[in-house]
Structure 1
Amino acid sequence: MACPRVAVVLTSTARFGESDRPTGFWYEELAAPYYALTDAGVGVTMASIAGGQPPADPASLAPPAVTDAVDRFRTDSDALARLAATEPVAGLAAIGLDGIILVGGHGTMWDFPDSPPLAELLTAVLARNGTVGAVCHGAAGLLNTQVAEHPAVRGRQLTAFSDAEEELVAATSLVPFSLEQRLRALGARYSAGQPFAPHVIRDGQLVTGQNPASSAQVAALVIESMRQAPTTSTRP
């Protein structure tokens, strides 16, 4: 497949609801997929719900969370410039995309499910035989995505940040809903691995990773999926 293009989508939400606890996107979940894609020759468009500079969760820049990919991104002037000027999701067209990666971070729990443009974009990309990858809380973007007039996650094997992990980061009482339980309620065949260990599932055009440690593998499987099934104008 020649020069596939992927949109990497980030949250624009900077707080846990009405609380003072900051959030945003999780840096490893941006940096690892970004370099997996660009190093493989994939064109990347950075987007966010509102456009412009998306907020980064400060916890994702604390020493335990900082990886080589994060360090590389934070010293990459081109990557930082692109991050500062993300395109609004509402301005993206599925026709130019072979895939989408939904970057996680708790901020997604507020604005991903409530974004009709995001749901419409995901639906359109899937309808064109494109690939959708979601890391951690990025799977919140799948909640209102439809395929053939039913939830896109229905009957699909997938994963996302687990209830057990939510407890371990002391966020259970702060998030607006349980992502794990919401996905199950929509008919997803949800499974989780050990907390914070890599756990990635590919089910056709859908690739999901449970947590930040799963980020690079999600991107690798998105690339594999795109190369196996180039986008078309037909519904999957």
Structure 2
Amino acid sequence: MPKALIILTSHAKLGETGKPTGFYWEELAAPYWILSDAGWQIELASIEGGKPPADPSSEADDAMTDEVRRFWADEPAMNRLAHTSKVADVDVSGCDIVFLPGGHGTMWDLPQSAPLGDLLSKAWEKGAVIGAVCHGPAGLLAARLPSGKPLVEGHRVAGFTNSEEEAVGLTSTVPFLLEDQLKAQGGRHEKGPDWQPFAIADGQLVTGQNPASSAEVARLMLQAAGAPATS
């Protein structure tokens, strides 16, 4: 059975606002079920291990999806989420897909995580597909190739845009703007209209712009791994 590793943020505070944040439910749940239904074994990890925090905004009625409800109702999935592995302890050698969901928490701990950077670099070198959606591409900023070049350099890449960050009123709250930093590391940033599905695959790198893009990222990851999704 092929194996996918999903890595979540452990950061629970939205900068200096005191408000809670974490991972975004839709961006975990939709890819989780698309991969699982396609026959993939899934391991969940987070930067610190244990139960990662969820962004409360992703639990609101207007953010709710059937995939999230299915996840909440699935005891094995919820148990797996409550006991994630610590990134530093994960052996990525058996994984053919590594996926980074978003949520604003990712902006603080993923780019600063040396263990995550090392894991992504190892996964890339062995030919695994690396995917990320919304703010998840912040984790790609931690990764360097053996040459020292940023992993995203020269690659087509998407992520939460400056205009979307402005629309949610967090431009001055986040530690950096993801679109700007992907460009600063040499990524060939591409985007679609705000809040519309937009995902791109560039070889083994698959990225998406926002929560609406998470399912398409999962389908593109399966294609890139040579394993078509189930209908």
Query: Which TM-score bucket, shorter chain as reference?
Result: over 0.9
Residue 31 of structure 1 corresponds to which residue in structure 2?
29
- 8 A Cα contact 2:16 2:173, kept in partner: no
How far residue 223 of structure 1 moved from its aligned partner, in angstroms, is: 1.2
Q: Which amino acid aligns with 1:213?
A: A
Unaligned runs of 5+ in 1: 229-236
Which 5+ residue runs of structure 2 have no aligned equivalent?
A: none
- Give, in whole Å, the separation in 2 of the partners of 1:168 and 1:67: 22
Which of 16, 19, 25 is equivalent to 2:17?
A: 19
Q: Tell me the TM-score normalized by structure 1.
A: 0.94
CA distance in 1, matches of 2:12, 2:161: 21
- Which residue of structure 2 aligns with residue 62 of structure 1? 60
Aligned pair 1:137/2:135, yes or no? yes
Partner of 1:163: 162
Q: Match for residue 223 of structure 1?
A: 222
Query: Aligned equivalents of 1:31 and 1:144: distance in 2?
Result: 24
Per-residue deviation, residues 161-208 of structure 1 (Å, max 9, x unmatched): 000000111111110001100010111110111111100010000000
CA contact (8 A) 1:11 1:48 kept: yes
Residue identity matched to 2:177: S
1:4–1:226 CA contact under 8 A, matched in 2: no
User: Aligned-residue CA RMSD in angstroms?
Assistant: 0.9
Conserved in 1, the CA contact under 8 Å of 2:106 and 2:139?
yes
Task: Give % identity.
Answer: 50
Give the alignment of 1:66-85 within 5 angstroms.
Answer: 66-85=64-83
Length-normalised TM-score, structure 2: 0.96
Q: Which residues in structure 2 correspond to 1:79-158 (within 5 Å)?
A: 79-147=77-145, 148-158=147-157
* Aligned residue type for 1:50: E
Q: Counterpart of 2:173 in 1: which secondary structure? A: coil
Distance in 1, Cα, partners of 2:76 & 2:118:
29
Aligned length: 226
Shift, 1:134, TM fit: 0.3
3-state secondary structure, aligned to 1:9:
strand
